[in-house]
Amino acid sequence: MLQFVVDQAKCTRCDLCVLDCPSQIIERTGDAVPFIRPENEERCIQCQHCLAVCPPAAVSIFGRDPVRSLPLTDRSFPDAEKMMALVRGRRSVRRYRDENVDPALVQRLLDALSNAASAINRRALTFTVIDDKAVMQRFRLKALKGLADAAKAGQVPERFAYLLQAVPAWDEKGVDRIFRGAPHLLAISAAPESVCPQEDVNLALAYFELMAQSAGLGTVWCGMAKMTLEVLPDLKQAVGLVPGHYYYTMLFGLPAVRYARTVQRDDAARIRRVQV
């Protein structure tokens, strides 16, 4: 049941919801308000475009009250210059303060992240987060001990050989080469039956990175954390990551470093313009 409801008093019969429906299941005839035939409901991809596009907030779906949505105006989004500055200025942060991020901010970021784009709007992602630095420290120590045991047993694959440097770096120098001393970790995962599981994961993490850095946090995509979890399946299971699911990890926290300027690599990408 889609609970597609149109307020007859508010509806202007503009047909914007009819025209903008990706599945083309919304109809309108004569002077009636838009409707969806029951036999077409299963084709809905739950995008809520109909609710979002209606100027007078006349459309409700899934029991959502359009009045509770954030209103959008020309000033709702960052302007192009600020957005490009964010993309140019965001850094991979590997130095963090030994402090917890405000839990309310973490929750706000994760709530907003639920709106990240996904293939066919499936939104079939799981956010696994370590949002307490004490928990992160226990996780860090378990990972390092597990790596030490795996190294002694010869269970670290050659392709992950770099991980072997992590244990002596920690034991002898107190240097955290894997988790960079970060107080928090986010792992986003998707089931293999998703249409584009790895792409959905990567998109969500990219959204998180930009939101987090705009909120004053530091982030870094952490391939070494993923390598560690692959070497230590028991630890991977302990944090709730399901075997066979696609995932990636990101560290985040309050940065202990502030960058004064952007780098200069606008010419780093090869651009190919197509003329057919």
Task: Report, as an integer, the average pLDDT of 232-240.
Answer: 95
Say what percent of the chain tops pLDDT 70.
Answer: 100
- CATH for 5-68 is 3.30.70.20
- Over residues 10-45, the pLDDT tens digits come to 999 999 999 999 999 999 999 999 999 999 999 999
Residue 137: CB atoms within 10 Å: 15
- CA 228 – CA 235 distance, rounded (Å): 9
Sign of the C-alpha dihedral computed for residues 63, 66, 68 and 69 taken in this order = positive
Residue bearing tokens 């244990």: 167
pLDDT for the residue numbered 111: 97
The hierarchical CATH code for the domain 83-253 is 3.40.109.10
pLDDT of 167 > 90? The answer is: yes
Query: What is the pLDDT averaged over residues 229-244?
Result: 95
Predicted pLDDT of residue 122? 86
Decide if 220 contacts 92 (C-beta within 8 A).
Answer: yes
Report d(CA 130, CA 182) in Å as an integer.
Answer: 10
Q: How confident is the model at residue 152 (pLDDT cuts 50, 70, 90)?
A: very high
Q: Computed from CA positions of residues 216, 129, 222, 265, in that sequence, does the dihedral angle turn out positive or negative?
A: negative
The pair of three-digit structure tokens given for residue 267, joined into one six-digit string: 């010419």
Buried b / exposed e along 106-135 (16+ C-beta atoms within 10 A): beebeeebeebebeeebbbbeeebbbebee
Mean pLDDT of 256-271: 95
Beta-carbon contacts of 111 under 8 Å, excluding residues fewer than 6 positions away, are none
| Contact criterion met (CB below 8 Å) for 18 and 37 | no
Is 211's pLDDT higher than 90? yes
Tokens of 182: 């970060």
Mean pLDDT across the stretch 235-264?
96
pLDDT in tens, 47-72: 999 999 999 999 999 999 999 999 99
| Residue ranges per structural domain of the chain | 5-68, 83-253
pLDDT in tens, 102-149: 999 999 999 999 999 999 888 899 999 999 999 999 999 999 999 999
Q: Given CA atoms 37, 40, 45, 46 in this order, what sign does their dihedral have?
A: positive
Give the chain's mean pLDDT.
Answer: 96
3: helix, coil or strand?
coil
Of 190, 262, 185, the closest CA to residue 226 belongs to: 185
Residue 168 pLDDT level (bands cut at 50, 70, 90)? very high
12, 33, 78, 118, 126 from 122: Cα distances, Å: 31, 28, 27, 6, 12
